Amino acid sequence: MSVFDRAKIDAMEKRFRAAFINSLSGFKSANLIGTADKEGHPNLAIVSSVIHLGSDPPLFGLVMRPPVVPRHTYENMRSTGIFTVSHVHADITEQAHQTSARYPRELDEFQAVGFTPEWRDGFKAPFPKEARIVLGLKLEREVPIEENGTRFMIGSLQWVDVPDDALAEDGYVDIGHAGTVAISGLDAYHRTSAMSRYSYAKVGKPIQKLDPIKGFSTR
């Protein structure tokens, strides 16, 4: 076991520190953010910071890096007020990672990495046809994170596509069954295998294991 105090962390070489610190929050979501500019030119970018903010209303948050250089996804989100979030699954991981290259504005990441842009009627943000779980969101608010210039973007869910065989009877979506992967650090992609679902924890009552799909107790 090694202990790293703040002085040791601050003294780390820049890229070493980025890889190190990025690993420490635990596993991260792997999502592709689909946007378009006012003229409808599509854009796609991988992010690992999408989180659940609330279920009623259905809200999600994600972190955008500081807009010190042109950031097409950020500009498109602000300009159209909408975006899509598509889970990265195991069959599209390499293409998804490639969207993080700094393509010039006129180059469309869908074409560059080999995804097919798909559009939902009346919703002006595209998503990859190759994705299995896709969320359509409306940008509700942008919170500046003064500490480092990043932006916390809050979106409300407008619609979602879910494969029928991944939806459990109690509402749980078995995203691992749909192939969704997890990220750790800056660049490490992981498949998952379900250990267990656990019953709602109550004081003085032992936890029960739930069947992953049905949401029923199995012991």
According to CB under 8 A, which residues from 159 to 188 bind its own copies? 159-164, 167-168, 170-176, 180-182, 184-188
Q: Rule CB under 8 A: say whether 122 interacts with its own copies.
A: no
Q: Which CB sits closer to its own copies, 25 or 79?
A: 25
Please give the backbone phi and psi of residue 138, each rounded to the nearest 5 degrees, phi first: -110, 130
Residue numbers 52-111 binding its own copies by CB under 8 A: 52-61, 63, 85, 87-88, 90, 93-94, 97-104, 107
Least distance (Å) between residue 36 CB and its own copies: 20
Task: Give the nearer residue to its own copies in terms of CB position, either 38 or 142.
Answer: 142
Distances (CA, A) of 108 to 66, 86, 130: 22, 17, 16
Instruction: For the segment 133-152, give every residue that binds its own copies (CB under 8 A).
Output: 133, 135, 140-141, 143, 145-148, 150, 152
The rounded distance, in Å, linking the Cα atoms of 119 and 126 is 5
State the first-to-last Cα distance of the chain, in angstroms, to the nearest integer: 37
Strand 82-87 to strand 182-184: parallel, antiparallel, or no bridges (unpaired)?
unpaired
Whole-angstrom distance, CA of residue 123 vs CA of residue 160: 12
With contacts defined by CB under 8 A, name the span among 35-43, 44-52, 67-75, 76-84 that binds its own copies.
44-52
